[in-house]
Structures are given as structure tokens and as C-alpha cells.
Structure 1
């Protein structure tokens, strides 16, 4: 179930303000047919100040060919290495008007001035159509000018959001290169520049451009222009992500390789690291877009913080690029700004990069990527990630999934939201068969693939970790030996008004099989959350568990799918969805979910067992054993996987006589592996080992008697290398069955096992 992309926000067309003038823009002149006045643009109409490209499309085309890019390293977040040209080569020699115009900025005016029209070039000077104030895009500094008695101008680099950016040398520090940012013309409002300066001076983060100083320079000579303030920033010599997007579209160099989606996610993680720092400082970035992110060397840095504001600033004009702006900001302006609106812009930035990236990643990874971005750009802010760090964690998970599916090498990382469980999504395959296997009235049971019943699955899935912000989090993290019923009572007496306690009581009730009580605790947890838990993945997860316990697998699948959309980088929802798909008979979907977990982390035994069941359903005994053999020793499911390998090698896959039996090599391997299993608390002999060996010999007897068994295997070249293989197998099986009789708990069972041993006893040779 791939989530639908959100619809693009509605952009009003240009029209004039007269109520009796309809459809003025239809004639294409740009002027009202009734009044002759210039038409208003969408940004002028709704009070938004459309931010321009930081470097501009023109500059990007001119300078892009000057950069070279080397391949990335092998680290998870490694990026290609950008080699920049000499800074002097980036200096702008033509004093062009900024593409798309600029915000007026006079006394808070958000009108766009200097916009090109009908294919004609924009004017560098003129008057604002709204407030009438003059504008001038001409740079105020020239090469050689000394600003603040310390910074010698080299030339113009670009026209930024509110003014020109200049390259300069710090003559006090060995000509260190810096960037000077001033206003387009001295009549502009100084407020935005001062806000940017104040915010930058408080910031110290490797992924955010650093302010070095601020200085004042006299206005243009021979004019009445007042002095101009300039911010002195570190010079970041690199490519903007808009330039990276162009290279992705051209499939150029490393950006045309199969790792491109991994690079996009790495960009996302680096950007979110910077946003998290800003948000913790009480600041909002407000203008995130590809042009405002610089890739220099193998690093990423946010630049142009001209739109940055404090979280509680609901008065300043809103600046931003409309395609990257959250819908609530377009609708509510400053009151719509929040950390979630920054996350929306981050999601749109990733989408802008990946839309040019060609084929999606393999397996489930492409869908996981789409869901990760879809949550960031959800229409409703509460449906987005709760914060930059939470979003980054999910992007890292998806990144690991993409890389592991591409390389077929695992890239594990512990989850912060789920705790691994010793339970295994397997009903029987990894367990030594119980004594009842020989008391069922028949001697030829088909190997059970081990798909658990839905009611048991809630106990086999990973367990959500307590929310650290919950008042009972520390209590719930303490180990306990209490059984589920006593645990429910103890938590009830704790006296916390805690959502996590209600959810833990819900799971304890599921363990007891008390589904009505589980539903009651889940309802209480839902009511304790804002919006009834509509945007809380924990509620959907526990609803899925409850639906499984009630046998409503389809309903459970819908709940787990919601969790997958909220947490696209987590293992747990994919395991749950893999089980649901397997249960409803959709092996292709189950394969995609299980592979996404298994390839990323080979210690996830539940995924390996799920894949093994799918192989067995196709009669692929070798494939099932190969999968389970790769469960590493560090996994808590390693011993169960080794036991399952022996049972699969010697298992009967079909009920009809002579069909679905293993071959000699498989039986031999099963007997070879048997002594290596950790059974009976590590003892070399014991009841579990006897039962498993009896199962192997039971199938071996059918194999030796099958018509398809070669004659050479029956005499001297078979399982035990004796002249009469059937005699050897019967002798060993009889001894094992008589040993099993000693495990019987009732006289009836004892008699049944002795009778079974007598039936397989070989005929005497005398």
C-alpha cells in the first residue's frame, strides 16, 4: 500500500483587486483591462514574500561546469566529494537582475519587484507596484572596496534572499576568504538583516553557516544613502543541492549511480541534524529548499538564514519558496510556522532531489522511501514527524534498508522504539517435536512449516519501548518476575496517569487471553492522548495486536500498515505485515516484507523463519536451509534456526507415500548436524536429542523403502554404509522409540510407544 503524494497547494492566479474585474489575467498583458493597473501576483495577493534562489538559476548554469565530483566513501552517510573551483572563478561579472525578482522589503512590504515579464529581461531599477518605493538591484560594493577596515571585496558571488553576497578577503587574517551579505539597496528594511545576524551569532553547528563578524559601510558615494550593514560569514565553496539535482537528472558521475537514493537520504539526515539544532535553540529555519543547502567537499551546510525567526515570532513577514512551503504557512502565514513546517520543507527538498533519480530502490526499499517522505509532507502538521531527530532516525532506517537490499550485506542498527524479544515468529519448525508427535495415530506426519496462529503472534512480535517522556517510563523499564496477571495489578496500583501503563496492561491482558480487558485498556490509553491517539503510532500498533488476537487478520494488517507509514525505517511493522501477507496467502508481499528485515539484520530470526516457510511452501528444501544457516551465532534465535535446519533436511514435505522425501545427501547432512545442536541444556544425550533423532530415522525408513531410492543406497552405499541399510535404520529407530517410551507420562502412552517400536523392529536373520 503505497501512500498517495499530497496534492500541491492551490496557487491563485494573478488578478487585480477590483471586485468588478474578473479574469483580467486571461488576456496575457499583465495589466487590468478596466483600470490599466498592473495585476497582482499570487505572492502579493496572499502576503507571502517569495524567496529567490540563493545563487540563482543563471549563476548555477554558469558555474556548474567548474565543479568536479569524486565517488563517495563506504560509510552509511558518506557523500560524493565535491571539488570546487578557485573562488575567483565564481565571481559574477555581469550585474544581472535577480531571476524571478525580489521581495520589496520596504517597511515589511512583501510585493515582488523586478520580475521579468513576457520574455523581456527584468529591470535592475524601478518602483514597487504596491508601496511605490524605488528598488535598485545594482551592487553597492566594487572589487577593491574595503569594508569595515578589514574586508577587501573581491567581487559579487550572487544575489541572495535580500541582497547581494560578496566574496572578500580578511586582510587581518592572511587574506582568509569570507562572504559579505548586505542589502540589495540601502533603502530596504534593516530588520531582516539584523534578525539574521543576531540568530547566526547564537549558532555554532558544523552544518550551519557560521557568522564571523558584522560591519557597517558608508552608502554609495555622492548620494544620500545611509550606511549599510553587512554580515561577515564563512565562505562555503560548494554546489547547492539545486546543482546536485541537475546532475542527478543528467545521471552524471556519482549522482548517476545506483547509490543515488542513499545520497538523497544522507542529505536528509545531515539537514535534519542542523534543523534539530535550530529547533532546540528555539529557532525556525522557514526557507529550506535545495538552493539553501550547500554541498562542499563531503559535507553539507545550511546557508542563507535570512528567513530564520524565533518560534514565537508571529509578526514578521513570511519568506519562503512556495513549492517548499507547508500548506498551513501558505494559509495562515506566520502563525502557521512551526518545527513541523520546517520538516515539510525538508520532505519537499528530498522529493525534489529524488524525482530526478530514475528507478526506485529494489524490493520494499522504494516504498519505504516514499512513505518516509510522505509523512514529512503530510497535509496535517500533527501527522508529520514529531521532530527533526525522529524524522532523521526513520530516514537512517530506510537508508540502511536500501543499502542492505542493494548490496545483500546487513546494516543493522538497534531501534530506539522497539525492544527485541526472545520470542520467535514460529510455531514449531525451530523446536524439537514433542512426544505427542508419535502418539497421533500415524507415523508419517508432514513437516509443519510453523506459521503461528494469529492469536499467538502478538506475543512473538517486538515490544514497543516505553516513551521516555511518559511519567511511568522508569517504572516500566525495571525488570520484573511478575506474571502477566500480577503485573496488571501492580501497574494498576502504581497510581500514574500514564499512557504507557495502559498499553503495558493491554499487552499483559493479551498474554492472558483476556481480550475484552485488553480492549478496555487500549481505549483508556486512546482517551488519554490528544486527538484520541489519531496521530500516535502506539495506538495503531496495539490495535493491530488486539485484532490479531481476535483473529481479524485483515483489520490488523490495516493497523500495521498505518504504523509502517509512520515508522518506515523500523523492523517491527514489516515483520507484522509480512506475517499478515503470509497468512492471507500472498507470498510475494510476504517475501518483500521479510527480505527488507532479513537483509538489513541477519539476527532477526523471525524474518528468516518467515522466508524459510515461503521456500518450503515451494518445495525448496535447500533454499530454506540456506536461509536459516545464515542466522548468526550472536542472534538469540541461532539455536532454533540450527534445529530447524536439521528438521527441514530430514523432513517429509508431502503426505503421499514416496513423495516429498529427502535424498541421501540431505539425510546424511541432518545426522551430521545433529550432534552439533545445543539441546538438553548442552548435554550430549537427552530426551530432546532422542526425539529429534527418532524423527530423522522415521523419515529415513520411508526413504529406504521408497521405490525411487537407488539400489546402491540400499546396500553398502547408503546412510550408514552397511550391506542392509533398512535393517540398520530399523534397528536404530527401534532403540530410539523404546527410549522415547521412558519419557511417557501415562501407561497408555508407554504402551503406544512400545507397540510402535515393535512394529519397526527388523526381522531376525536367523
Structure 2
């Protein structure tokens, strides 16, 4: 018998090729060379450039690579693989393009990458390589963890602390998610693979099986006492067993809903690590159907966030799916470890949302292929390094298949599944439930709250992040029609919520253009250069002004009139109405534009008629509800508009526009709520200047001038409203303020603010009058009380009664010369005469 001479292979040569590894015969009959006996600089030495390791058990104990294949006398050497940039460089130097590092302990001390191997394929080699971008998971009952490989980045690291830079896009680049190091495959094998008795259930009727009785341990195999369906929880494959003539089993690594999951080596492809998954019970018809479905669907799936499938093999009477091994942790493992080590009940909200966004990308792909995942939960997604992989596609089915078996998990599965079957909405429901479980201590999610969320007031995370609470409630609404329509829509809103959450947590803005709304159109209440003569410190904003200032929903680019409408955006409402009314085709976008213009022209009846007409064509278009709410607000029916905008906030929790509208409606009825909404928008995106002025108005109404001024001061200098905000801060410091509340320091600060603005002409003089009048009142009060000392300068004027009166007289007379209105000129001259210092003449 001819033995194969490939390192570490125990196969025999038949018909010129090894039956195990598939290599061509290269030696005469005889014993197989010991692993590590070839290719090194000495017996047992690793032959990899720059590596000082030793071959043990067939692999280097430093870099993890197998020994180089020995050349056989009389045989031409195998063609060398094509040399690439990453293979270049002298021994001991890193082969990565552009890197000047040195290989130390098997890894580059600069970029953290391992040394390149001339024999490695693009799919990786050695025990810690992985060739794809997918993953396979622990299942519900497993104690091991395995996850996403990192072959796309060339990494074969097994937990090295060296960093090669950010390689994933978890959290849309907004949040830094802790990396999960690649896990050594050998550490994932279970020493005693057993399914705990409390996790043994009949696959047919769900009744407990295999339980202990009268002191006797439960049976791992047998028949369900209720429905007589056969069950088996014992592994079907043993270590060393060869499956499909190619995959050598090392042992069990987890147990899932469809049976044991095994780690194996692919002897035909450079001993790469793979995962084998078979049936839970080969006698169960539904389990067979699910396994067959998994095979059919996985053959079509190709996405970086979904496990990669290599092969399907038959072994005995069972069929196995062959997947890449990917080292990492499931989200459930990450959550449990945080509870053990960090003492926290949940993950940070930003981290949980980052995971949700990655899952939604995978779901969006599956849904586009006409598939639904059905059984999503934190157990079924793996993080490795900075990449996420969706695993365990055993429950996947086609959207049009309403007769197949349905797999789900209590606490995550949508309530309508049993009646109407799975759908895109039910998939998104599972994502919402998983986000809830990951982000707060969700007690009772499989019991009292199995199909609902706890009250917001009882969950600190939800109470703090209102938009996140609203997103979860929409995603997990009992009515499927009230949920998100697709994964892209949910991801868009979830990204907006993530920006809000991060901005609230650290105070750093995360602005981004909306995909649904344009920018704010105006900022009412900023004309502050003149005395109001009324009780308000900042000018009041009318409902019509507030409605006209709100962002406008974007036009659907697929509408035939979209280009035509885009060219009319700069027109005044009346001219825009005339132009749109003459459009040759009354498309849905034309109707909506006409409705918006009619609202601006106060023709509310005509606007509602147009919206009724548009609703016949597009009953599910949220913009119709937006314009109805806008018309109600513009009419002045603020209390009626508030619940309409509140409903739009539920619908679009990641958008700023509904929050701005609702905040305005709540300024008087619920100022605390209005302040919270304005602040959320302002913290997230300083481009919404209307939120800053609204927040300042709320604080002023509560008598908190200092906070109002701080808000106005936070308007960035690059903003077109910077000067208006600073002017508002000046007015806030003195306008309508009793002299007893003023101080010399406060007056001086107001004067310094004004001088720093660089204003000229009438605008400067009106604000100067306002500060000087306030200062004069403060000085006179002090004089009457025999109080505070006088002195110093204010706007270049001595802070004395005589000095202030003289400056005020000159300023009033200058304003009188500037105005063309006779009555106003007379009033200004009267003011000058009234304020001038008394003289003896």
C-alpha cells in the first residue's frame, strides 16, 4: 500500500492520488514522514520567512503555518504561486505593501499582519485562517463560540493585541465598537458535548424530552412520550471521522436548533478549518425540509454579512452543510460577558445600534432575493474583529412559500407568524426585539412582555433616548402595517437615532443631510435689533411662521415631473403656484407641491382638496400626513396639530423635522417636553438654528436667561445666523429685565458682545440704546438706594448717570435723522429730550 507523503496526512494513494487530501503521489511505499520533519532550517523548525517557531502537531507554534512541502527526488518542483506585493521583502521584513515593519513573534510590529506564505491561497491556510466573509454560530444551546473570519483582510491572528487599523464599518463609522479577537479553532471544541436536560425539547410538539426521573439521568436518545417522534441529542460524528472523503472531524463546538455543529479540517484545501452542520433528527420531516431549504437558499446567498457556504456532502444517511470556520463571539456571548465582567445589564445603546445596522444590511439583501430569515436573535449573529456575520440560515424561506415549517424563538418571533406566516415586517420585528434585549435589562421579554415593550418610564435607557424608544415601538408594533416597510427604511431611521444617541451622550454633534427632508427654510423670531415694546424678550413666532420655516419633504426623483419641480424651488409662493398649476401633467409630486404652496398662501381648503386627491394615488405616502399637519399648524390650530406631528415622530424617529414641529406645538402646553425636543435636534445638528432659538424661547419663558444666552452663544461662527444669535444674546441680557436683576459685570458683558459683532448703522444704534437704557435704570436704582459704586466704561461711555444720558441723547437723535417716518422721528426726538441731562439753562 502506498501512503501519502503530504505533511500531516494519513491517507493512502489510489489511482495516483491521495484519497484524503487529493494530492498526487510523490513517494514510494513506506512510512509517512513525521510532521515538521521537512522544510525547516533544522529538525522541527518552521520554514516561514522570519519565523523562529517549531513544528508541533503539524503546525508552527508561533505563526500557525503548516510545514513547507518537501520536494521528492526525481520529481519536478511544483510551480510557485504568483508572487504579489504582500509576498515581497527580505526574510524578517513585513510583506505588506508600503509597510516597513519587521516580523516579531509571528506578526508585523507595525501593521500587525502575519508573514505571507508562498503556498497560501486566497482563502487562507493553516488552522487559524478563514477563507470567506461569513460565519456560523453557536445555536441556542452551545457553550462554544465561533464567528466571523477575517480572511478578507489577510489576517490569520488568533487573539493578538496588535492592531492593523480599523477594517470594519460597524456603526456607520459613527461609533467605535470593541473588537472581538479571532478565536483559535481548537479552543472551540467541546470536551464533553452534551445538551443540558433543561434544553431538550421534542422537535415536533415542543414537549420536554430526555429529562431525569426518579434519580435516573435523562436519555439522550429516545421517543417523545407525547407524539412518539424520535429524538437524539448525541453527536453523530466522532473525532477523526472523515466526512465526504475530505473533511476530518475534530469535535463538536455547539448545538443548535437543527443539531450538532462540528469543527473539521478540509484535507483537500490546505487543511483549512471548516464547520459541518447536520440535522437535529433525521427522522423528523420538518427538520429534513428545513435542512433542504437551507441548502437551496444558501447556494444563492453571497453577502459579506452572511456566512459563506463551501459545500454540501452526504455521509451515511445524513447530509451536512460545509461552511467556513470563523472565529469570534455571538452577540449573546458579548452581552453575557459584559454582564459578568462589567457588571452592566446591557450593551451601550450605540454599540447595540451598530450591530442592528449591520444586521439590517444582511436582511435587506435577503429580502431583495425574495427570502426571509424568520429566526433572528442575538445568538445568530457573530462579531469577529470589526465585522459582523449573520449565521444559522436554517429557518430561511421564500416569501411566497406559505406552507413550509416555521422556525422562531419565543420573545423574538412576531405575534402574527402563526396566522399569516413570515414576512419582511416579521423579520424587522425580530431585529427590534433583539435591539431591546441588547440595549437594556429586558426582564420578561419571553413572558409578560413577549409581544410588547415595557413602559418607557420604567426603562432608563428608553426614558433618556426618546427617539430610540419610538423606533423600537414602531419596529415591534403588534400591527404589521405600522412597522417599517423594509430594512433600508428602518436602517435610515436607526442611523438618525444613532446620531442623536451619541450626541446626547458626549455632547458632540453628528450632523448629516436627511434623506427625506430638505434643510430648514427660515428662522423666524430673529429680528431683534429694535425694541419690541412688549413683554417678550425674543419676538414671538406665529404658527404660520413656524409652519413656513419647517423643512420641506423631498420630491420623489422617480416622478415624471421631478426635474420640472426642481427648477422652480427658488420662486415665491404665488409665482410657484402659477407655474405648477400650468404643469402639463398632474403627477403626485405636482399635487403635493401645489398643496404645500396653497398652505403657504393660506388657501387651506384648496390644500386639503389637493391632498385628498393625492391620497387616492398614494394612500401610504407619509408626506400627505405631513402636509395635513402643516396646514393645521399654519391655520393656528396648534393643539390639533400637536398629535398629528407626534404621530409623524413615531413614524420617522430619526428625522429632525417632526421633532421641530412638535416642539413648537408644545412650547406653551408642555415647555419641558418642547425644550427636550429642541435640545435633541440642536445637539445632533447645529445646522437647525431654529432649534436653538426655540430652545432659547423656552428657557426665557421659564425665566432662565443664563441658559438661553448659553444656547444662543453656541450657534457656530460659520452659521449664516451667527450674528442674529449674538444679537439675540445681547437682547436677552438686558431686554425687559428689571434693574434690580442687572449687574455691572452683566452690562459690561452685553456691551462687549455688541462691540464684537462689528455692526454698523441703525442696527447698531438700536441695540446701543437698549443696553444704555438698561444701564441707566440700574444706575438710578443704585443711586436711589445709596448703593453700588459707579465707574468704568460701557460701550466707551462712563457708567454714570450723566454719561449714559448724554450718550443716549446723541444716539436717539442719530436714529431720528435716519428715519423717514414722521411719527417715528417725533417719538425719537421726544425720547432724546426726555433722557438728556438736566442743565441750568
What TM-score do the two structures reach when normalised by structure 2?
0.72
- Residue 671 of structure 1 corresponds to which residue in structure 2? 751
- Residue 138 of structure 2 corresponds to which residue in structure 1? 55
CA pair 576-724 structure 1, distance change in 2 beyond 3 A = closer
Confirm or deny: 8 A CA contact 2:202 2:224 kept in the other structure: no
CA pair 61-450 structure 1, distance change in 2 beyond 3 A = farther
What SS does the aligned partner of 1:174 have? coil
Once the two structures are superposed, the pairs formed by residues 61-100 of structure 1 within 5 Å of their partners are: 76-83=174-181, 86-97=184-195, 100=199
Confirm or deny: 8 A CA contact 1:292 1:303 kept in the other structure: yes
For the pair 1:317 / 2:405, whether they are aligned, the reply is yes
For the pair 1:651 / 2:739, whether they are aligned, the reply is no
CA pair 116-569 structure 1, distance change in 2 beyond 3 A = farther
Aligned to 2:241, which of 145, 150, 157? Answer: 145
Which ranges of structure 1 fall in alignment gaps of 5 or more residues? 1-52, 105-109, 220-225, 439-443, 680-684
- Residue 402 of structure 1 corresponds to which residue in structure 2? 501
Q: Cα offset for 1:648?
A: 1.7
Once the two structures are superposed, the pairs formed by residues 497-508 of structure 1 within 5 Å of their partners are: 497-508=586-597
Write out per-residue CA displacement over residues 589-608 of structure 1, whole angstroms, 9 at most, x where no aligned residue: 12221221122223322222
- Residue 486 of structure 1 corresponds to which residue in structure 2? 575
- Residue 420 of structure 1 corresponds to which residue in structure 2? 519
Write out per-residue CA displacement over residues 407-447 of structure 1, whole angstroms, 9 at most, x where no aligned residue: 222222222112112411x42xx32435xx48xxxxx6545
Q: Tell me the number of residue pairs that the alignment of Structure 1 and Structure 2 aligns.
A: 670
- Residue 298 of structure 1 corresponds to which residue in structure 2? 386
- Residue 105 of structure 2 corresponds to which residue in structure 1? none
Once the two structures are superposed, the pairs formed by residues 283-294 of structure 1 within 5 Å of their partners are: 283-294=371-382
Once the two structures are superposed, the pairs formed by residues 730-749 of structure 1 within 5 Å of their partners are: 730-749=805-824
Q: Cα offset for 1:303?
A: 0.4
Q: Cα offset for 1:321?
A: 1.9
Aligned to 1:372, which of 468, 471, 479? Answer: 471
Distance 1:579 1:666 in 2: 30
Aligned to 1:388, which of 479, 483, 487? Answer: 487
Write out per-residue CA displacement over residues 162-207 of structure 1, whole angstroms, 9 at most, x where no aligned residue: 2321101122333221111122355555543343233223323222
Distance 2:321 2:678 in 1: 53
- Residue 598 of structure 1 corresponds to which residue in structure 2? 682
What SS does the aligned partner of 1:728 have? helix
Distance 2:190 2:746 in 1: 74
Distance 2:374 2:551 in 1: 38
Write out per-residue CA displacement over residues 70-121 of structure 1, whole angstroms, 9 at most, x where no aligned residue: 99999634323334653323223445357645675xxxxx545873468786
Q: Cα offset for 1:56?
A: 5.3
Distance 2:319 2:211 in 1: 32
Deviates more, 1:188-197 or 1:321-330: 188-197
- Residue 237 of structure 1 corresponds to which residue in structure 2? 327
Aligned to 1:509, which of 598, 602, 608? Answer: 598
Deviates more, 1:76-85 or 1:554-563: 76-85
Distance 2:522 2:467 in 1: 26
Which ranges of structure 2 fall in alignment gaps of 5 or more residues? 1-135, 148-157, 444-457
- Residue 246 of structure 1 corresponds to which residue in structure 2? 336
Confirm or deny: 8 A CA contact 1:288 1:324 kept in the other structure: yes
- Residue 622 of structure 1 corresponds to which residue in structure 2? 706
Confirm or deny: 8 A CA contact 1:69 1:82 kept in the other structure: no
- Residue 547 of structure 1 corresponds to which residue in structure 2? 632
Distance 1:715 1:159 in 2: 84
More RCO (CA 8 Å, sep 6+): 1
Distance 1:752 1:63 in 2: 82
Q: Cα offset for 1:713?
A: 7.1
Distance 1:413 1:721 in 2: 44
- Residue 609 of structure 2 corresponds to which residue in structure 1? 520
Distance 1:349 1:722 in 2: 66
CA pair 56-278 structure 1, distance change in 2 beyond 3 A = closer
Q: Cα offset for 1:496?
A: 4.3
Q: Cα offset for 1:497?
A: 5.0
What SS does the aligned partner of 1:177 have? strand
Distance 2:426 2:503 in 1: 31
Distance 1:365 1:144 in 2: 54
Distance 2:212 2:636 in 1: 65
For the pair 1:694 / 2:769, whether they are aligned, the reply is yes
CA pair 78-200 structure 1, distance change in 2 beyond 3 A = farther
Structure with the higher fraction of residues in helix conformation: 1
